[in-house]
Amino acid sequence: MVRTMISTALAAVLLAAPVQAQDVGEIVGGIARQYLQQEQDRAAFAQAQQTNSLSAYQSYLRQFPNGAYAEQARERVRRLGGTVATTGSQSSAGSASLSADQRVAIQRRLNALGYNTNGLDGSFGPGTRRAISLWQRDRNYPQTGTLTSAQATEILQGRAPAASGSASNTGAAADGAPARAEGVLNLSRQQRAAVQAGLTRRGFDTRGVDGVFGRGTRNAIAAWQRANDLNATGYLTANQFERLTSR
């Protein structure tokens, strides 16, 4: 369905005005991003409707103050006896509440966790938005690609979900020495995908081979480490990387 909608929209654009071949990719990307934003908006409002509470509708409005369902959400807030905050008071990673240094710190932290932002420039472009969305997915947050204040704080403070039975059992913080040691490896997305493929071949489900070290991959690494009598940190050492990527 998504492909059909994108194809239809692209055809309309191409018929409306001739474009250069190199522009087609940008047009398709723009249409896809727009559709993704619409779907994120719809899913967030559907979740608010399912919960049907004051806090749920207020949470939706914090994420999508100008969303397609914003007016409906505001009406529900009023009916539930709450107050509707103005757009200027909404707090997110897209607002001026984050300094340039904090934005860079968030990008650096996301990369350390395995979510590639395609740069550390303090600008939250498509790469960073995608990384945020994946980070949110792995923590069961709505995949908006935009951080709430609480989520930004969570990343900046370095809290990461411990792989099951892993760091909490070793007494090491999930984002401490093991994470720093893995960060020094500076693994590319291709190398991360090779690790995931190696884990999958050995029977440890990473929930996908996409080059992104989310919760599924961290749990798989920890399970493999436990099976091999290693400290189950959920993070790789150089030697472990070599073992997992060797045939």
Tally of CB atoms within 10 A around 68: 12
For the chain, percent helix, then strand, then coil, each to nearest 5?
60, 0, 40
Pair of tokens at residue 247: 């045939």
Confidence at residue 197, expressed as pLDDT on a 0 to 100 scale = 92
Please tell me what DSSP assigns to residue 85: P
Alpha helices in 138-237 (DSSP H): 149-156, 167-170, 177-185, 189-201, 215-227
CA contacts within 13 A on the Cβ side of 131: 26
Report how far residue 186's alpha carbon sits from residue 238's, in angstroms, rounded to the nearest whole number.
Answer: 10
Q: What is the pLDDT of residue 90?
A: 40
Residue 32 pLDDT > 80, yes or no?
Answer: no
Q: Check if the beta carbon of residue 114 is closer than 8 Å to that of residue 212.
A: yes
Distances (CA, A) of 46 to 52, 162, 210: 9, 30, 28
> Looking at residues 50-54, what average pLDDT do you find?
85
Residues 6+ apart with CB under 8 A from 18: none
Give tens-digit pLDDT for 190-227: 999 999 999 999 888 898 888 889 888 998 998 898 88
Token code pair at residue 10:
């692209």
- For every residue of 217-237, DSSP letters joined together read HHHHHHHHHHHTTS---SS--
- Closest listed residue to residue 48, CA positions, set 81, 78, 76, 28: 76
| Structure-model confidence comparison of residues 28 and 103, the more confident one | 103
CA distances (Å), origin 65, targets 44, 61, 90, 229: 12, 5, 8, 50
* Entry pTM: 0.36
Closest C-alpha to 135, from 114, 119, 118: 114
Which pLDDT score is estimated for 244? Answer: 92
What's the pLDDT at 11? 57
What is residue 67's predicted lDDT score, i.e. its pLDDT? 78
More confident residue, 5 or 46: 46
- Using N-to-C axis directions, what is the helix angle for 54-63 and 70-79, rounded to 10°? 150
Of the chain, the end-to-end C-alpha distance in Å amounts to 39
Can you tell me the distance from the alpha carbon of 92 to that of 94, in angstroms, rounded to the nearest whole number?
Answer: 5
Assess contact for 143 and 136: CB atoms under 8 A: yes
Q: Are 182 and 236 in contact (CB under 8 A)?
A: yes
pLDDT of residue 194: 93
Query: Could you report the per-residue pLDDT of 83-102, keeping only the tens digit for each?
Result: 655 443 344 444 437 788 88
Lowest-pLDDT choice from 25-29, 35-39, 54-58 = 25-29
